Amino acid sequence: MTTSTIRRVRGRRVWDSRGRPTIEVDVELASGVRGRAIAPAGASRGSGEAVDLRDGTERFGGQDVMMAIAHVNKPITMRLAGRDVQDQQAIDYELIEMDATPEKSKLGGNTLTAVSLAVAQAAAAANGVPLWKHLAQGREVTLPLPEIQIFGGGAHAGQRVDIQDFMVMPIGAWTFSDALAMVAEIYRAAGDLMRDAGKIAGVADEGGYWPLFASNEDALEMLVRAIEKAGLRPGSDAAISLDIAASQFGRDGRYRLALEGRELDRDGMAEMLVRWVDRYPIVSIEDPFAEDDRIAWIAFTKAMAGRLQVIGDDYLTTSAERVEAAAVDHACNAVLLKPNQAGTVTETKAALDMARKAGFGTIVSARSGESEDTAIVHLAVGWNAGQLKVGSFARSERMAKWNEGLRIEESLGPHSQFAGFDVLPFRRPAAAGGTR
């Protein structure tokens, strides 16, 4: 037995940022060292995601996780006890084999995500280093360019506006801490403008303002005004990033914009987005089309070549195979990486490696249901993902992550590197093999 031998894996029920049950896992080592992780939960989910195991009983609207906890405490503990916690890949493969379903429905994607991340944390703790350092394995790291939500919509705000995330990217910032300071001013300015206009109804699931806009485009105008009111230049200090989350309102090539009472076909949808990109300082769009609309993805990415980051979230669901297929198709040029879409740290890393090989942008992302767990910030830094999406600039489950980024930045010293604007795929020289 070495100091990094796993003694026990323990699951418990904790509560996420929406007040729903979720699973927390402790991986305890023979040395007494411990790693801990909490599974997040999505609301707008791709059909290819690992599924959460929920009890489906009367309690908590069927959302309880007692079965997931039982899996951790018995079969997973029995299988992992005695294993070397440093062997992340072997442990993850073991979990995948135990589950033996394509969508992780037997043990639960939530169960596996919490165990896998807790294993990574325990391995880092056993080495006496923070998780980012453990993952970097001696390589230089770069702090990620954040994309930060100002208005919430879609599934995170009762469908009040159709588009899910209206975000800003502080592309003119020189450091991670500057980037956050810029967004703090924009978030405050947006709140003031919305209050003055009587268009604010509180905050949505990820902390962005819950807007009372009359059209989706109103949000874009308000964002530009907020950037200006913050004393910043739209398009050079701060740009706009959108998550359309189009699978939520699009199917079979038709898109229903409920707020505006109209339905668009895939060409109409593309025209609207191109017009927005022409008119507003938009540098990134996630899930512009539904996950079943491959033709639209390919045509749009081609039309936007050289000027836009096109991110697959529901379209790629953190799957290396899907990223590979999208690279062959040229269906997008960036991937959102959510550990609980894949189910394990190893599979998430595989999706990132594939994306990097294709020259794609890589964005590590939180979910709309979150917790105080800050592991994703460490993944973004340790893996040099370049970009980080955590939600808005309010609510402690979001701020815990931004603040963790600040601590990592400080620990790297005054010469820490920051990804900045050039991390976006269209800003980089044509990706020959795409290695960075």
Q: Which C-beta is closer to ligand 2PG: that of 42 or that of 382?
A: 42
184 interacts with ligand 2PG by CB under 6 A = no
Stretch that binds ligand 2PG, among 9-17, 216-224, 360-368, 410-418 (CB under 6 A): 360-368
Residues in region 204-223 near ligand 2PG by CB under 6 A: 206
Residues in region 76-135 near ligand 2PG by CB under 6 A: none
Q: Which C-beta is closer to Mg ion: that of 64 or that of 243?
A: 243
Q: Which C-beta is closer to ligand 2PG: that of 257 or that of 364?
A: 364
Cα(339)–Cα(419) distance, integer angstroms: 21
Site string for ligand 2PG, 255-294 (x = CB under 6 A): ----------------------------------------
17 binds, among ligand 2PG, Mg ion, none (CB under 5 to 8 A by kind): none
Least gap, CB of 150 to ligand 2PG (angstroms)? 13
365 binds, among ligand 2PG, Mg ion, none (CB under 5 to 8 A by kind): ligand 2PG
245 interacts with ligand 2PG by CB under 6 A = yes
Q: Which C-beta is closer to Mg ion: that of 243 or that of 370?
A: 243
**Beta-carbon contacts of residue 267 (< 8 Å; ≥ 6 apart):** none
Give the active site residue among 104, 133, 199, 338: 338
Least gap, CB of 194 to ligand 2PG (angstroms)? 20
Site string for ligand 2PG, 132-171 (x = CB under 6 A): -----------------------x--------xx------
Least gap, CB of 42 to Mg ion (angstroms)? 8
Give the active site residue among 49, 206, 397, 404: 206
270 binds, among ligand 2PG, Mg ion, none (CB under 5 to 8 A by kind): none
Q: Which C-beta is closer to ligand 2PG: that of 42 or that of 130?
A: 42
Does the active-site annotation cover 338?
yes
- Cα–Cα distances in Å, from 412 out to 217, 312, 363, 417? 40, 31, 21, 9
Q: Which of 116, 362, 365, 387 binds ligand 2PG (CB under 6 A)?
A: 365
CB atoms within 10 A of CB 105: 14
- Cα–Cα distances in Å, from 50 out to 89, 116, 256, 320, 374? 18, 14, 27, 14, 21
Q: Which C-beta is closer to ligand 2PG: that of 164 or that of 387?
A: 164
Does the active-site annotation cover 228?
no
Q: Which residues bind ligand 2PG (CB under 6 A)?
A: 42-45, 155, 164-165, 206, 243, 245, 313, 336, 365, 367-368
Catalytic residue list: 206, 338
